[in-house]
Amino acid sequence: MYDKSNVISVSCLQYTSTTNELHTLEMIKPLINKAIDLGSDIIALPECATAIQGDPLNTIKLAKTQSENISLKILKEIAKTNSVHILIGSLPIKTNNKITNRSFLIGPNGKTLYKYDKIHMFDVNLPNGESYKESDTYSPGSKAVLAKVKLQKIVKIGMTICYDLRFPKLFQDLAINGAEIITVPSAFSKNTGKLHWHTLLRARAIETGCFIIAPAQTGTHCKGRKTYGHSLIISPWGKIIADAKKETNLINAKINLDIVKEARLAIPNLNAQRKYLTDL
């Protein structure tokens, strides 16, 4: 028999952020309200949660400190008014003349419970000619974050952002330290998304024995940037529980954290790692 106190409701919002954060916020409020009506314990928003600029210089110019950030303020108010946890996938935050790509976990009291600065910068040159250099805009974080969230019980949530997905050691370290859920808010490139998104997320779920919660941007943004969509909720066995496909949408699932224990007992790879020589 499953313990009902280990069942939680999670929702992922999927949409197309504009260059205007207030416009984006108005656009997504109906999705947030729908997630609230579904009884969600956690509502997860994607990376670049309220704005995607077409130029890194605009991102830097418009970035605010935490205390000045209007999106953070409004989403905190929504969390408090509705007594719900909100994962803000990321916002550009100014700190000491630098910009960080920062994810926030907001509690039902409207306070920031945890924050995570994206560690791995998306600096790539894709075969189709697309080029991205996130490090021109953001300074990388340097600390993994494991949130301990009080729902019916304490739930341990590992926080990552988008390109972190390609670095399995981060996910394994979070799982070894107790993560039951790992969040992967993203604005994944459409071209690499078609090839890698589902495969990488399912692999991270299987490797860690965690639920993966991956809210994603979708559609065409400023200056033709295209994101892949397909927000996903995945079980510790790698089963896709919900897929938002390509449209502006919301997915919701009730997940049972007992399945984390089941998966790890059946395949105890996290505790079976061995040291080995790397003098190759």
Structural domain of residue 237, as residue ranges?
Answer: 7-268
Total domain count, the chain: 1
Active site residue 118: yes
- From the list 105, 123, 122, the residue with the least C-alpha distance to 114 is 105
Q: Where would I find the H helices in the chain?
A: 21-37, 56-62, 70-82, 168-176, 190-192, 198-208, 258-266
Is 152 contained in some domain?
A: yes
The one catalytic residue among 12, 21, 47, 76: 47
Is 1 contained in some domain?
A: no
Is 254 contained in some domain?
A: yes
Is 2 contained in some domain?
A: no
Is 133 contained in some domain?
A: yes
Q: What is the pLDDT of residue 97?
A: 78
Percent pLDDT > 90 in the chain is 86
pLDDT tens, residue by residue, 224-259:
999 999 999 999 999 999 999 999 999 999 999 999
Is 273 contained in some domain?
A: no
Strand 7-14 and strand 112-117: pairing?
Answer: unpaired
pLDDT tens, residue by residue, 148-202:
999 989 999 999 999 999 999 999 999 999 999 999 999 999 999 999 999 999 9
CA 184, 187, 192, 194 torsion-angle sign: positive
Q: What is the pLDDT of residue 2?
A: 67
Is 280 contained in some domain?
A: no
The one catalytic residue among 76, 115, 118, 190: 118
CATH number where 220 lies: 3.60.110.10
pLDDT tens, residue by residue, 100-138:
999 999 999 999 999 999 999 988 887 877 777 888 889
- Tokens in use for 280? 């190759």
pLDDT tens, residue by residue, 263-279:
999 999 999 989 899 88
